[in-house]
């Protein structure tokens, strides 16, 4: 999964396990982040692994405030999201 931001980010302290996707409509699984790669100054790719079944009929992203994703310009911490329905945007 790729996350895009409106400013440059740092993932030096990232904890990918704080990012989950609940996918009930396509795969019927909850996925948890296992690794991260900075794709561009404003985009990170999170590799996900299925951890348990999920049977609701939506796809949503959850990310805690402890992901470790920081803004480069001021070190601000990304607050994360709670039940952000996907696809977004």
- Using CA atoms, how far apart are residues 49 and 79, in angstroms rounded to an integer? 23
Phi-psi region of 19 (alpha: psi -120 to 50; beta: other; left: phi over 0): beta
pLDDT tens-digit series, residues 32-78: 999 999 999 999 999 999 999 999 889 999 999 999 999 999 989 99
Average pLDDT over residues 73-87: 93
Q: Is the pTM of this model over 0.85?
A: yes
Closest CA to 75 of 3, 13, 2: 13
- Using CA atoms, how far apart are residues 68 and 80, in angstroms rounded to an integer? 10
Q: What does the domain layout of the chain look like in residue ranges?
A: 2-85
Has residue 13 got a pLDDT over 70?
Answer: yes
CB 80 within 8 A of CB 64: yes
Beta bridge partners of 22: 30, 60
């Amino acid at each position: 999964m790729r996350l895009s931001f409106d400013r440059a980010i740092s993932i030096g302290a990232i904890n990918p396990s704080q990012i989950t996707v609940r996918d009930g409509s396509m795969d019927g699984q909850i996925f948890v982040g296992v690794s991260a790669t900075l794709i561009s100054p404003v985009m990170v790719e999170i590799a996900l692994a299925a951890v348990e079944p999920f049977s609701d009929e939506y796809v949503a992203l959850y990310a805690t405030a402890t992901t470790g994703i920081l803004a480069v310009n001021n070190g601000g911490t990304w607050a994360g999201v709670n039940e952000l329905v996907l696809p977004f945007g």
